[in-house]
Structure 1
Amino acid sequence: MNIKKLTENATSLLKRLIETPSFSQEEENTAVLIAGWFLENNIPFQRTKNNIWATNKHFDESKPTLLLNSHHDTVKPNSAYTKDPFKAHFEDGKLYGLGSNDAGGCLVSLLATFTNFYAAENLCYNIVIVASAEEENSGKNGLNSMLPILPHIDVAIVGEPTLMHLAIAEKGLVVFDATVAGTPSHAAHPNTNNAIYNSIGVLQWFKDFKFEKISDALGAVKMTVTQISAGAQHNVVPAHVDLVVDVRVNDAYSNKEIAALLQKEAPCSKITPRSLRLNSSAIAVDHDLVLAGIALGRETYGSPTLSDQAVLSCQSLKLGPGDSTRSHSADEFIYLQEIEEGIQLYIALLSRVIVQ
């Protein structure tokens, strides 16, 4: 199938995806649309909950396997939209609609790419594609739930909007719940152990603390206090102050190391990670996929945003059409040209790596 036809079909699917609500955990109907793509192209596929997946026609267990992945769930539209988020609207070369950029354009481009290579013989890699659910909420029934079901994955391309540049590393995430303790009392009486006052020094510690290990691709670990709550009445000093701390982890640390360090050093009564499973991701700069992308004129960088890479243990590359700065924004859009270029670049990249 030629690039023009693939692009037309991919764009048509994207329009239908936009016009079919698919909030995280509510992707049943977009899963049906994606299944329809495989049916129309005579490609056998499987559906596991709301994840749709398939392997190339000549899958060979003796060969390494490349995963192509993007998601079909969306966040909910924000109140600043001026256009109907569920109406695929063309204007000035742009396709507007919720999920057009994050990550519909990537998903349909990867589906087109997989279809291009599906029946090819003598590939150096097997190909598995997964159109995954529950990415936006890091849900339990997303890509992470597919890993025990899929063939062993050796390397992955995760479709997220990167302007088709090569995100060779991605920060992980650990969210901590922290407590600063004090002595509860009536506000009218002296109290030298006021939890709210105690939190001042703790907040300053979080603001000033620097993690020693700096990553070439991702820079320093970024730690931010994002929520604080305490007290229920104006005349009662509370027993504790609760903090939420967001830590974006570079590839020099594991999430377990970050948790152990903060539990040892942070001047809190208690600090507990909510989850340690969203780890940082990376791919070697000399991996064939990266070298092929560089040869095609693409730049490399480290990504501060989280994706389904976080649940993968293999090397992975984040790459896709669209711009991350448009994600979750009002009047989200993707340029139609970006979809065509995305398909072209995906195919050109893989042709350099998986075709003998």
Structure 2
Amino acid sequence: MSASKDRSANGVSQRLLEWYDRSARTLPWRSPPGKPPPPPYRVWLSEVMLQQTTTAAVAPYYARFLERWPTVEALAAAEDADVMAAWAGLGYYSRARNLLAAARAVAARGSFPDTEDGLRALPGVGAYIAAAVVAIAFDRRAVVVDANVERVVARLFAIGTPLPAARKEIRAGADAITPDERAGDFAQAMMDLGATICTPRDPRCLLCPLAQDCRARAEGDPARFPVRPAKKAKPTRKGAAFWIERVDATGRSVWLVRREGKGILGGMRALPDDGWSARADGFGVPSGDWHHAGTVRHGFTHFDLELSVHVSRAAQPDGEGEWWPVERIEEAGLPTLFAKAAARALG
């Protein structure tokens, strides 16, 4: 198939939209095919949450956010700590910080921008989210390329250039088949095709509405596209976390700190630690009466972490923090790493 906008490309979009009308997934942030689009706030919120996160993981967070902050103005007025706590467990916490900054920028201007350039000026909004909001919320033609679309297009055109260099060709291919009408439905149809039919492994070509157009299928090995470079091994860092507990007339409580606003897990409540980072191990366990409760493991994007958990009822906390009731530890909004550490300390 040529990467030019011709009748063949128009046929691709028509076949895909006909399939979408029959097979569209039902998702809480989506309008059914042919119905009025959802508000920009809902599209933007869902797309931020869905970055590098599955729909199954996002759905309950999305519902809770909408219940608590039903409009962008409500989110803009929220306390930073409340938003970060509500995000806890969803990962990639810079998204939450950017979410709040972008909400405040939108509230200050009075409405969401309705162009890709305007949306990209918001914190945390890149080319993909800007195009998705323009297409889905404003129903204007935009070339929307996420990981699912990337895979579909790479196979459709049998693009053999390895990623990330292939992305220019992939975008050109996506542009060639993107129709002028039903922009939002087409974007979501491409996402659905990649998520349910044109899957990374064992694509279900017999069920694909674009099977007759697919060069990779014609070549006999669609699963090899998109071509990826060899993975680099991630380093493993070592660190320590400290469960400092006290018991008084109010009951058991644990010392929690607030991590710095930038960097890994920035702005989140956490257990004190020994200063581990993506670049270096921590400094270890200080002297004192510490009980080793075990080790938890956690994977970040660029490194893995082995975090040993140490418990003390005699240590005195340093710096700023707060005593948090142990019986309410699940309400603290600890990120997954420190929730694991807390569970190990209490285990």
Q: TM-score range by the shorter chain?
A: under 0.3
TM-score of the superposed pair, with normalisation by structure 2: 0.26
Higher relative contact order (CA 8 A, sep 6+): 1
More strand by share: 1
More helix by share: 2
